Protein backbone atom coordinates (compact mmCIF):
# COMPACT_ATOMS: atom_id res chain seq x y z
CA UNK A 1 0.00 0.00 0.00
CA UNK A 2 1.47 3.36 -1.03
CA UNK A 3 0.98 6.60 0.85
CA UNK A 4 1.08 10.13 -0.55
CA UNK A 5 3.33 12.85 0.81
CA UNK A 6 1.11 15.06 3.04
CA UNK A 7 2.71 18.16 1.52
CA UNK A 8 1.66 16.99 -1.93
CA UNK A 9 -1.89 16.36 -0.76
CA UNK A 10 -2.00 19.82 0.80
CA UNK A 11 -0.81 21.41 -2.43
CA UNK A 12 -3.68 19.81 -4.36
CA UNK A 13 -6.53 20.52 -1.96
CA UNK A 14 -9.07 23.03 -3.32
CA UNK A 15 -8.53 26.71 -2.57
CA UNK A 16 -10.02 28.03 0.69
CA UNK A 17 -13.00 29.63 -1.05
CA UNK A 18 -13.87 26.26 -2.64
CA UNK A 19 -12.97 23.68 0.00
CA UNK A 20 -15.43 22.09 2.45
CA UNK A 21 -13.28 20.12 4.89
CA UNK A 22 -14.77 17.27 6.95
CA UNK A 23 -12.51 15.78 9.64
CA UNK A 24 -12.93 12.58 11.61
CA UNK A 25 -11.42 12.61 15.11
CA UNK A 26 -10.27 9.21 16.44
CA UNK A 27 -7.49 7.77 14.30
CA UNK A 28 -7.46 10.89 12.12
CA UNK A 29 -6.71 13.86 14.41
CA UNK A 30 -5.64 11.70 17.37
CA UNK A 31 -4.33 8.15 17.59
CA UNK A 32 -6.69 5.20 18.11
CA UNK A 33 -5.66 4.11 21.62
CA UNK A 34 -7.09 4.90 25.06
CA UNK A 35 -3.93 6.87 25.85
CA UNK A 36 -4.40 8.96 22.70
CA UNK A 37 -7.96 9.76 23.72
CA UNK A 38 -6.81 10.75 27.19
CA UNK A 39 -4.18 13.12 25.77
CA UNK A 40 -6.67 14.77 23.44
CA UNK A 41 -5.58 17.50 21.03
CA UNK A 42 -2.76 19.90 21.90
CA UNK A 43 -3.55 23.61 22.21
CA UNK A 44 -1.35 24.58 19.26
CA UNK A 45 -3.24 22.14 17.06
CA UNK A 46 -6.59 23.53 18.17
CA UNK A 47 -5.21 26.96 17.25
CA UNK A 48 -4.38 25.61 13.80
CA UNK A 49 -7.95 24.30 13.40
CA UNK A 50 -9.19 27.75 14.39
CA UNK A 51 -7.06 29.41 11.71
CA UNK A 52 -8.20 26.90 9.10
CA UNK A 53 -11.84 27.46 10.09
CA UNK A 54 -11.38 31.20 9.52
CA UNK A 55 -9.45 30.58 6.30
CA UNK A 56 -12.34 28.46 4.96
CA UNK A 57 -14.97 30.96 6.14
CA UNK A 58 -16.40 28.33 8.44
CA UNK A 59 -16.57 25.44 5.96
CA UNK A 60 -14.81 23.01 8.30
CA UNK A 61 -16.74 20.39 10.26
CA UNK A 62 -16.05 17.45 12.54
CA UNK A 63 -17.69 14.20 11.39
CA UNK A 64 -17.49 11.56 14.10
CA UNK A 65 -19.04 8.62 15.85
CA UNK A 66 -18.64 10.66 19.03
CA UNK A 67 -21.49 12.73 20.42
CA UNK A 68 -21.60 16.51 20.13
CA UNK A 69 -21.12 16.63 23.91
CA UNK A 70 -17.78 14.76 23.69
CA UNK A 71 -16.57 16.52 20.53
CA UNK A 72 -16.95 20.07 21.87
CA UNK A 73 -14.59 19.70 24.88
CA UNK A 74 -11.86 18.35 22.61
CA UNK A 75 -11.80 21.61 20.63
CA UNK A 76 -12.37 24.17 23.41
CA UNK A 77 -12.70 27.14 22.98
CA UNK A 78 -13.95 26.45 19.44
CA UNK A 79 -17.54 25.54 18.65
CA UNK A 80 -17.27 23.86 15.27
CA UNK A 81 -19.97 22.45 13.01
CA UNK A 82 -20.40 18.76 13.87
CA UNK A 83 -22.06 15.71 12.31
CA UNK A 84 -21.97 13.43 15.35
CA UNK A 85 -23.24 9.91 16.10
CA UNK A 86 -22.02 8.75 12.67
CA UNK A 87 -23.73 11.74 11.04
CA UNK A 88 -27.12 11.43 12.77
CA UNK A 89 -26.80 14.47 15.07
CA UNK A 90 -25.98 17.69 13.19
CA UNK A 91 -24.98 20.95 14.89
CA UNK A 92 -23.97 24.16 13.14
CA UNK A 93 -21.47 26.64 14.57
CA UNK A 94 -24.27 29.11 15.35
CA UNK A 95 -25.91 26.55 17.65
CA UNK A 96 -28.64 25.24 15.34
CA UNK A 97 -28.94 21.52 16.03
CA UNK A 98 -30.84 18.74 14.31
CA UNK A 99 -31.02 15.80 16.72
CA UNK A 100 -32.97 12.63 15.87
CA UNK A 101 -35.96 11.85 18.08
CA UNK A 102 -35.49 8.47 19.74
CA UNK A 103 -38.36 6.01 19.46
CA UNK A 104 -39.34 3.54 22.21
CA UNK A 105 -38.18 0.70 19.96
CA UNK A 106 -34.74 2.29 19.58
CA UNK A 107 -34.46 2.86 23.32
CA UNK A 108 -35.37 -0.77 24.03
CA UNK A 109 -32.87 -2.06 21.45
CA UNK A 110 -30.05 0.05 22.91
CA UNK A 111 -30.72 -1.20 26.44
CA UNK A 112 -30.86 -4.82 25.27
CA UNK A 113 -27.62 -4.51 23.26
CA UNK A 114 -25.82 -2.87 26.18
CA UNK A 115 -26.94 -5.63 28.55
CA UNK A 116 -26.07 -8.62 26.37
CA UNK A 117 -22.71 -7.25 25.22
CA UNK A 118 -21.69 -6.28 28.76
CA UNK A 119 -22.55 -9.78 29.96
CA UNK A 120 -20.75 -11.56 27.12
CA UNK A 121 -17.72 -9.25 26.85
CA UNK A 122 -17.06 -7.69 30.29
CA UNK A 123 -13.69 -6.23 29.25
CA UNK A 124 -15.36 -3.97 26.69
CA UNK A 125 -16.47 -0.50 27.73
CA UNK A 126 -20.12 0.43 27.11
CA UNK A 127 -20.37 4.19 26.63
CA UNK A 128 -23.83 5.79 26.52
CA UNK A 129 -24.55 8.78 24.32
CA UNK A 130 -27.73 10.75 23.66
CA UNK A 131 -29.77 8.33 21.55
CA UNK A 132 -26.85 5.97 20.91
CA UNK A 133 -24.07 3.96 22.51
CA UNK A 134 -20.53 2.83 21.76
CA UNK A 135 -18.89 -0.49 22.60
CA UNK A 136 -15.21 0.42 23.02
CA UNK A 137 -12.23 -1.95 22.91
CA UNK A 138 -8.56 -2.02 22.01
CA UNK A 139 -7.64 -2.00 18.32
CA UNK A 140 -7.44 -5.48 16.76
CA UNK A 141 -9.39 -7.07 19.63
CA UNK A 142 -10.23 -10.54 18.22
CA UNK A 143 -13.61 -10.46 19.99
CA UNK A 144 -14.78 -7.29 18.25
CA UNK A 145 -16.33 -9.11 15.27
CA UNK A 146 -18.31 -11.41 17.55
CA UNK A 147 -19.44 -8.47 19.70
CA UNK A 148 -20.67 -6.61 16.62
CA UNK A 149 -22.57 -9.68 15.43
CA UNK A 150 -24.17 -10.06 18.87
CA UNK A 151 -25.22 -6.41 18.86
CA UNK A 152 -26.69 -6.74 15.38
CA UNK A 153 -28.72 -9.81 16.42
CA UNK A 154 -30.28 -7.82 19.24
CA UNK A 155 -30.90 -4.65 17.21
CA UNK A 156 -34.35 -5.76 16.10
CA UNK A 157 -33.77 -3.74 12.95
CA UNK A 158 -34.40 -0.56 14.97
CA UNK A 159 -30.81 0.74 15.24
CA UNK A 160 -27.68 0.71 13.10
CA UNK A 161 -24.66 -1.30 14.29
CA UNK A 162 -21.44 0.14 12.80
CA UNK A 163 -18.16 -1.66 13.63
CA UNK A 164 -14.91 0.30 13.60
CA UNK A 165 -11.24 0.14 14.63
CA UNK A 166 -11.74 0.70 18.35
CA UNK A 167 -15.49 0.78 18.85
CA UNK A 168 -18.85 -0.47 17.65
CA UNK A 169 -21.25 2.44 17.32
CA UNK A 170 -24.95 1.74 17.77
CA UNK A 171 -26.82 4.70 16.32
CA UNK A 172 -30.20 5.61 14.81
CA UNK A 173 -31.26 3.52 11.84
CA UNK A 174 -29.83 4.79 8.55
CA UNK A 175 -27.21 7.01 10.16
CA UNK A 176 -23.81 7.22 8.49
CA UNK A 177 -21.15 9.84 7.87
CA UNK A 178 -22.23 10.19 4.26
CA UNK A 179 -25.70 11.36 5.26
CA UNK A 180 -24.19 13.81 7.73
CA UNK A 181 -21.88 15.29 5.10
CA UNK A 182 -24.71 15.48 2.55
CA UNK A 183 -26.86 17.38 5.05
CA UNK A 184 -24.14 19.93 5.83
CA UNK A 185 -23.38 20.36 2.13
CA UNK A 186 -26.95 21.59 1.59
CA UNK A 187 -26.32 24.59 3.86
CA UNK A 188 -23.99 27.56 4.04
CA UNK A 189 -21.05 27.85 4.40
CA UNK A 190 -20.60 24.39 2.79
CA UNK A 191 -23.01 24.91 -0.12
CA UNK A 192 -21.45 24.78 -3.62
CA UNK A 193 -18.00 23.84 -2.28
CA UNK A 194 -15.83 20.75 -2.93
CA UNK A 195 -16.19 18.26 -0.07
CA UNK A 196 -13.05 16.52 1.19
CA UNK A 197 -13.53 13.99 3.98
CA UNK A 198 -10.49 12.84 6.00
CA UNK A 199 -11.02 9.63 7.98
CA UNK A 200 -9.35 6.42 9.02
CA UNK A 201 -11.93 3.71 9.47
CA UNK A 202 -14.66 1.57 7.92
CA UNK A 203 -17.40 3.95 9.18
CA UNK A 204 -15.73 6.70 7.13
CA UNK A 205 -16.42 4.83 3.87
CA UNK A 206 -19.91 6.40 3.39
CA UNK A 207 -18.32 9.81 3.94
CA UNK A 208 -15.74 9.10 1.26
CA UNK A 209 -18.44 7.89 -1.13
CA UNK A 210 -20.70 10.90 -0.55
CA UNK A 211 -17.82 13.34 -0.93
CA UNK A 212 -16.97 11.72 -4.27
CA UNK A 213 -20.59 11.82 -5.42
CA UNK A 214 -20.72 15.54 -4.61
CA UNK A 215 -17.61 16.32 -6.65
CA UNK A 216 -14.94 15.91 -3.98
CA UNK A 217 -12.98 12.98 -2.58
CA UNK A 218 -11.78 11.18 0.52
CA UNK A 219 -8.40 10.96 2.19
CA UNK A 220 -7.86 7.71 4.12
CA UNK A 221 -5.60 7.61 7.17
CA UNK A 222 -3.86 4.26 7.61
CA UNK A 223 -4.93 1.10 5.85
CA UNK A 224 -8.40 0.21 7.12
CA UNK A 225 -10.49 1.64 4.26
CA UNK A 226 -10.45 0.28 0.73
CA UNK A 227 -11.17 2.00 -2.59
CA UNK A 228 -9.66 5.35 -1.60
CA UNK A 229 -6.73 6.52 -3.72
CA UNK A 230 -5.44 9.29 -1.47
CA UNK A 231 -3.85 7.87 1.68
CA UNK A 232 -1.74 9.06 4.60
CA UNK A 233 -0.01 6.72 7.06
CA UNK A 234 -1.25 8.06 10.40
CA UNK A 235 -2.79 10.98 12.29
CA UNK A 236 0.53 12.81 12.48
CA UNK A 237 0.51 12.94 8.67
CA UNK A 238 -2.98 14.47 8.86
CA UNK A 239 -1.57 17.33 10.88
CA UNK A 240 1.40 17.70 8.51
CA UNK A 241 -1.09 18.12 5.65
CA UNK A 242 -3.16 20.67 7.56
CA UNK A 243 -0.08 22.65 8.60
CA UNK A 244 1.16 22.74 4.99
CA UNK A 245 -2.23 23.83 3.67
CA UNK A 246 -2.54 26.65 6.18
CA UNK A 247 1.03 27.78 5.52
CA UNK A 248 0.50 27.77 1.77
CA UNK A 249 -2.53 30.02 1.84
CA UNK A 250 -1.18 32.24 4.60
CA UNK A 251 1.88 32.85 2.43
CA UNK A 252 -0.34 33.61 -0.58
CA UNK A 253 -2.32 36.13 1.49
CA UNK A 254 0.88 37.83 2.64
CA UNK A 255 2.17 37.98 -0.93
CA UNK A 256 -1.09 39.46 -2.17
CA UNK A 257 -0.96 42.13 0.55
CA UNK A 258 2.50 43.32 -0.46
Pairwise CA distance, residues 78 & 53, whole Å: 10
160 pLDDT above the threshold of 50? yes
Give the chain's radius of gyration (CA, Å). Answer: 18
Q: Work out the pLDDT band at 1, boundaries 50, 70, 90.
A: low
Hey, where are the domains in the chain?
6-100+175-257, 104-172
Cβ atoms of residues 109 and 158 within 8 Å: yes
Q: List pLDDT tens digits, range 130-157.
A: 889 999 998 889 999 999 999 999 999 9
- In the prediction, which pLDDT does 258 show? 42
User: Could you tell me which residues are beta bridge partners of residue 168?
Assistant: 135, 163
Q: Work out the pLDDT band at 257, boundaries 50, 70, 90.
A: very low
Q: Of 94, 52, 88, 99, whose CA–CA distance to 182 is shortest?
A: 88
Strand boundaries in 137-245, DSSP class E = 159-163, 167-172, 194-199, 217-221, 230-232
Q: List pLDDT tens digits, range 22-46.
A: 999 999 999 988 788 889 999 999 9
**Annotation: CATH topology of 6-100+175-257:** Rossmann fold (3.40.50)
The model carries a pTM of: 0.91
- In the prediction, which pLDDT does 225 show? 75
**Contacts (Cβ under 8 Å, ≥6 apart) of 47:** none
Q: Which CATH number fits domain 104-172: 2.60.40, 3.10.620, 3.30.70, 3.40.50?
A: 3.30.70
How many helical (H) and strand (E) elements, i.e. helices and strands, does the chain have?
9, 12
- In the prediction, which pLDDT does 252 show? 66
240 pLDDT above the threshold of 80? yes
As a 3-state breakdown, the chain gives helix, strand, coil percent values, each rounded to 5, of 40, 20, 40
Amino acid sequence: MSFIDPLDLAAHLPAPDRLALFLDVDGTLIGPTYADRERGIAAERIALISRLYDCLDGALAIVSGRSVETVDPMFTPLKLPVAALQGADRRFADGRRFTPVQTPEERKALKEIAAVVAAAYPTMDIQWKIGALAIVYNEDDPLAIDAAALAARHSGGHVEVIPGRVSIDVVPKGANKGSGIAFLMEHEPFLHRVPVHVGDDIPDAPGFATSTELGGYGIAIGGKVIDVERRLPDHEATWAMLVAYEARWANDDRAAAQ
